[in-house]
Structure formats: C-alpha cells, structure tokens
C-alpha cells in the first residue's frame, strides 16, 4: 500500500488555530486548500490528544520489502512444493536476511499457508485414460455384477526420495488436487502386502 501524503506541522497548527477561532471544517479546507475530512481528522486528534503530530507507531518495521513479498508470492505460485529454506536463500541473494518465521508470517498475510502434500499414484497419461475408459464402460453395470467381483491388490508404497511428510503452499482447497501440489509414489521394495476384498 502506497504511503499517503502527510501534512507538515505548520499546516496542522494553522488548522487547529483556525478551528479554535470558530471556523468550520469546509471553510478552513477552502482557505488552506485541504479536504474538509482532513481538517476534521486533525481537529479531532487535537481535541482528544492535545497534539497535532502523529503518534509513534508500535512494532518493528517490516523486514521484507513489497518487492520481496511479490518475489516470494511468485515463487510459491509457480512452485508450490518449494521449501522455507529455498525462500530464505532467494531473499538472501536479493540482499535481505530473514528467518523462516518471517517468511511464514508474510505468506499467511497474503492468504497462503503450508500444508501436507497429498500422495498420489504415479500415473502416465495412458494409465489415466485406461482408468477413465474402464470407469465409463462399467458405469451403468448393475449392483449384482459388482457383487460377483473379487478384488485383490498387492501393494508396497514408498516415496521416490524420502519416506516423510512434505509440505506445499496453498490457499485454496482445490490446490490439493492439482498435480503440482501432489507427491508421486511408486510400488517398489520388499515386504509387499496382498489385500483381498
């Protein structure tokens, strides 16, 4: 958000003096070339606090500039599976040193949060089309036909790289179903389990 123009102390003091003399907000605004709402705000501040200067603002200034925030948001939108450390390193290369917590707060202010990535079977487009064709072919099968089917599956699921939870960034519920926010897993290794149903 752009910084608004602030009136100098001399003009604020003039507004207060003219208001003390009994002039209205619109009259003072026309005389000094300011809006009546601005004149009213300064007059009310003087009545309440007996001062015309701005109060010191609480809290530390933001460490990440607006440009840095845009850079972070762009990276997260393009690569939802990026890590906190990647974002910290990107800002460090740009000349800003911040902690992971600072980046987390910045993303949360923009409506993004970190959530666990969904694990999805690694399917090629041909696999997807075959599954879709099977579903469409048997869409209208009666329930009695499905009662005759015995289902079995042998499964062993591990992640490609590491067997742990990975995080992705997202602010909308539908993002969890897009391939960019899912981690593919494959069946390999020992200790397979056969399921019958």
Q: Say whether both 50 and 2 belong to one domain.
A: yes
Establish if 4 belongs to a structural domain: yes
Q: Say whether both 55 and 93 belong to one domain.
A: no
Q: Say whether both 3 and 55 belong to one domain.
A: yes
Which pTM value belongs to this model? 0.44
Establish if 18 belongs to a structural domain: yes
Task: With beta carbons less than 8 A apart as the criterion, state whether 145 and 80 touch.
Answer: no
Q: Using alpha carbons only, how large is the chain's radius of gyration in Å?
A: 31
Identify the domain boundary among 76, 94, 116: 116
Q: Say whether both 1 and 48 belong to one domain.
A: yes
Q: What does the DSSP assignment read for 137-185?
A: HTTT--HHHHHT---EEEE-EEESS-SS--EEEESSGGGGGSGGGEEEE
Establish if 34 belongs to a structural domain: yes
Establish if 74 belongs to a structural domain: yes
Q: Say whether both 37 and 81 belong to one domain.
A: no
Can you give the pLDDT at residue 82? 84
Strand blocks (E) in 13-151? 113-116, 118-121
Can you give the pLDDT at residue 174? 47
Q: How far does CA 23 lie from the centroid of its chain?
A: 49
Residue that is written with structure tokens 């602010």 in the block? 171
Determine the structural domain holding residue 33 and report its residue range: 1-59
Sign, CA dihedral 168-174-180-182, equals positive
The stretches in the chain having pLDDT less than 50 are 1-2, 174
DSSP state of 81: T
Establish if 194 belongs to a structural domain: no
CATH of residue 14? 1.10.10.10
Task: With beta carbons less than 8 A apart as the criterion, state whether 43 and 13 touch.
Answer: no
Q: Say whether both 70 and 49 belong to one domain.
A: no
Establish if 93 belongs to a structural domain: yes
Q: Say whether both 51 and 99 belong to one domain.
A: no
User: In the structure encoding, which two tokens stand for residue 195, read together?
Assistant: 């399921």
Split into its structural domains, the chain has a count of 2
């Amino acid at each position: 958000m752009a910084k608004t123009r602030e009136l100098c102390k001399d003009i604020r003091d003039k507004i207060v003096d003219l208001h003390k003399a009994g002039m209205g907000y619109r009259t003072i605004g026309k005389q000094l070339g300011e809006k009546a709402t601005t004149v009213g705000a300064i007059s009310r501040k003087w009545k309440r606090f007996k001062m015309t200067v701005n109060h010191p603002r609480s809290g530390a200034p933001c460490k990440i500039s607006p440009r840095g925030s845009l850079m972070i948001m762009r990276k997260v939108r393009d690569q939802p599976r990026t890590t906190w450390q990647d974002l910290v390193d990107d800002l460090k290369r740009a000349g800003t040193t911040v902690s992971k917590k600072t980046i987390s707060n910045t993303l949360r202010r923009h409506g993004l949060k970190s959530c666990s990535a969904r694990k999805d079977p690694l399917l090629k487009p041909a696999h997807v089309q075959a599954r879709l064709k099977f579903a469409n072919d048997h869409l209208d099968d009666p329930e009695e036909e499905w009662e005759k089917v015995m289902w079995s599956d042998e499964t062993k699921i591990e992640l490609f790289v590491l067997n742990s939870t990975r995080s992705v960034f997202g602010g909308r519920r539908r993002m969890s179903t897009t391939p960019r926010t899912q981690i593919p897993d494959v069946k390999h290794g020992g200790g397979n389990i056969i399921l019958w149903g």
